[in-house]
Structure 1
Amino acid sequence: MNIEMQNTYQEDWAERSLFYNCRMFTEGFKKGDPYWKLSPCIHIGILNFNMMKSPGYYHKVTLRDEKTNELYSRKFQFHVIELKKTKAAKGKARKHPLYRWARLITATTWEEIAQESVGNRYMERIQEEIYNLINNE
């Protein structure tokens, strides 16, 4: 799995993510190994800019047949979270657990961090760590 945060727009971001996934896909694979042993390559891109044209903040990109939409392989995936689009999310999209994490990442005040963290022990732990990092500098 490759996780990348990108704060500023980069025109070649899609190509970079393809490059990293392709390199990761073949890493450690030895001559004579059966191909089913290839591990899935999952790229998670957390972007502070809008890359995709569609309005949603979360996109799962896979290899699919253009005509039938049939999945070609589950072993190559790209998950893109566009942080700037979270404010425009509505209804069902706001109920997805990923939405809260995206909002936590974009929080700029202690109030926003507390609001997004409440009731989620993992987020509350992140809140504590952020507080400790800032106060121990």
Structure 2
Amino acid sequence: MKKESNKKTYQFHKATGALKYTMTNDYLFRMVLQRDKETLTLLICSLLHLTKDQVVDVYIDNPVEPGATIANKEYQLDIVVKLNGDVIINLEMQVINYNNWPMRSLSYLCRKFDSILKGTDYNTAHTVYQIGFLDFTLFENHPEFFAKYQMRNAKDNYLYTDRFNLFVVDLNRTDMATDEDKFYGIDTWASLFKATTWEEIKMITDNNPSLNSTAEAIFMSTANQDILEQCRIREDNIVHEKLQAERMKYLENENKTLTNENQSLSNENQVLTEEKLLLNERVAKLEKLLKDNGIQE
């Protein structure tokens, strides 16, 4: 990220203490990207490894009026970005692990890719990206900070098409950022999104002055009471959803435990049944032996 040459004074420079909400709040995430086109441009450039002069035009295709109420429904807070007129980028901030992200993200990606009008040449299909910022590790046995998935040949890894792309940024694994990730500042974005105090943000912007406008957009958005109210509602919903997810996980574990216990009892019953059959066979043989020897009629 290039340093700014000017010494412009921003309002966030005077802010101290804890942020009211962090950028992991998907409503605030959306408001900041909507408010500041510079932020949107820099973020897209980092993720797609572009230079600013390669961005002819970029805008959010599904903007929301700042402070407007958004129903707590799935897919509601996806940010659909149009880049240079022919690239569609779907951005999503996700803090709760419902253990369905692979299928969910593919659903997002396919919806955006399958937008060819009837009778139109398939070669006109837009290049699409589904980019998820996750506040959890997607694959515990295969952690990665910035993962890129594409359709490739299973034998020799030959690329099928570069128009179908699924990216995942693990906000908690900046320790695994590669030199390339750091060169494009993706680890810096992750740190910014996770920052909980203004002191952290100032430290980030001191080293990356190009993010001053982003920090200012965060400050201005969190100074808007209508936006703050919607951020609060989203936080309440997230807490509720987390409790639901934890309860569901607990019930699933309980169900697994009961299933295992039932299986164990079933196995024990099977053993007892087999032992009973064996015992009956032995009793029958003993009775026959006694009868054959005139000991028992």
The TM-score normalised by the length of structure 2 is 0.43
What are the within-5 Å matches in structure 2 for residues 28-107 of structure 1? 29-52=116-139, 53-86=141-174, 88-89=175-176, 92=179, 93-107=181-195
Distance in structure 2 (CA, Å) of the matches to 1:80 and 1:101: 13
Distance in structure 1 (CA, Å) of the matches to 2:111 and 2:143: 30
Distance in structure 2 (CA, Å) of the matches to 1:77 and 1:22: 10
Q: What is the DSSP-based 3-state SS (H/G/I as helix, E as strand, rest coil) of the residue aligned with 2:173?
A: helix
CA contact (8 A) 1:57 1:85 kept: yes
Q: Choose 1 or 2 for highest CA Rg.
A: 2
Distance in structure 2 (CA, Å) of the matches to 1:19 and 1:45: 13
Distance in structure 1 (CA, Å) of the matches to 2:201 and 2:220: 14
Structure richer in strand, relative to its length: 1
CA contact (8 A) 2:137 2:172 kept: yes
Instruction: Give the equivalent residue in structure 2 for 1:9.
Output: 97
CA contact (8 A) 2:145 2:177 kept: no
TM-superposed deviation, 1:94: 4.1
RMSD after superposition: 1.8
Going from structure 1 to structure 2, the CA distance change for 1:61 and 1:91 (only over 3 Å counts) comes to: closer
TM-superposed deviation, 1:136: 4.2
Query: Which of 199, 216, 239 is equivalent to 1:111?
Result: 199
TM-superposed deviation, 1:126: 1.2
TM-superposed deviation, 1:128: 1.1
Q: Greater relative contact order (Cα 8 A, min sep 6): structure 1 or 2?
A: 2
Going from structure 1 to structure 2, the CA distance change for 1:3 and 1:118 (only over 3 Å counts) comes to: same
Q: What is the DSSP-based 3-state SS (H/G/I as helix, E as strand, rest coil) of the residue aligned with 1:118?
A: helix
Query: Which of 82, 91, 106 is equivalent to 1:18?
Result: 106
Structure 2 residues without counterparts, runs of 5 or longer: 1-88, 226-297
| Residues matched between the structures, number | 135
Distance in structure 2 (CA, Å) of the matches to 1:94 and 1:43: 21
TM-superposed deviation, 1:47: 0.4
Matched, 1:126 2:243: no
Structure richer in helix, relative to its length: 2
TM-superposed deviation, 1:121: 4.4
TM-superposed deviation, 1:119: 4.7
CA contact (8 A) 1:104 1:117 kept: no
Structure 1 residues without counterparts, runs of 5 or longer: none
CA contact (8 A) 2:152 2:160 kept: yes
Distance in structure 2 (CA, Å) of the matches to 1:64 and 1:48: 27
Distance in structure 2 (CA, Å) of the matches to 1:136 and 1:2: 26
